[in-house]
Amino acid sequence: MKICLVLGLVAVAAFCYADARRSPKKPDFYYFPPSPPCRLVMMAAAALKVDMNMKMIDLMKGEQLTPDFLKINPQHTIPVLTHDGLTISESRAIAAYLANSRPSGEKIYPKDPKKRAMVDQMLYFDMGKLYQRFFDLYPPMMFMGASWDKEKAEKLDEAVKMLEEYLTRNKWAAGNQMTLADISLLASVSTLEAVNYDFSKYPKIMAWSENSKKMIPDYEKVNEGVMVWKTMMDKYKQDHPM
């Protein structure tokens, strides 16, 4: 009888352990809704069906500079993801981690070296050119009252033309299926759309943008923070006629 009881307890413990492994602790995600890098991760999580503990950090109130947050990320930037003792503070690295952590992730972040290289190339293009040139032009205007910078605007136009060219080669940014590269670029392009960037000369981007949005579960809800950019740009235009 005692042996049966012990074996039963062992079986229950083993079941609980296996169940715990099947249901790991959710990652904590520190974010600010309007941030394109944050929305990149949120869209990737939606595509992968990853549930995260959402912890908003209000940049407008300086919450990224509090002692508690600086312990998490000394760079005082968002987004940040913490999970099982790991802390990641770069949006594309976070998205890649989420994809690498799940069998379904290979669909949007392929393991094949050549395919992954193409995805990585476009992730770096977004980070170093498209998003960076948006960031160089618009935030100084909206947050610091800077004037329209023609040279920076031309640099941004150049990056947009590059994206249009890439999309003439494939339906998606890095090949024949949607990947993390498209999600990253969509975070940037949707922000440009919100500030009324004129994409009428770029039909490939316009079609790709619509197709990409349809592929993200609950896109409007996940990406609703983008409308803050529209509000800020409308106010800037009222105060600074262009």
- Single-letter residue type at 26: K
CB 48 within 8 A of CB 104: yes
CB 92 within 8 A of CB 39: no
Select from 212, 143, 217, 146 the least CA-distant residue to 183: 212
According to the 3-state scheme, what is the secondary structure of the chain? Answer: CHHHHHHHHHHHHHHHHHHHHHCCCCCEEEECCCCHHHHHHHHHHHHHCCCCEEEECCHHHCHHHCHHHHHHCCCCCCCEEEECCEEECCHHHHHHHHHHCCHHHHHCCCCCHHHHHHHHHHHHHHHHHHHHHHHHHHHHHHHHCCCCCHHHHHHHHHHHHHHHHHHHHCCECCECCCCHHHHHHHHHHHHHHHCCCCCCCCHHHHHHHHHHHHHCCCHHHHCHHHHHHHHHHHHHHHHCCC
Single out the catalytic residue among 35, 91, 184, 212: 35
Is 188 in the active site? no
Q: Looking at the annotation, which residues are catalytic?
A: 35
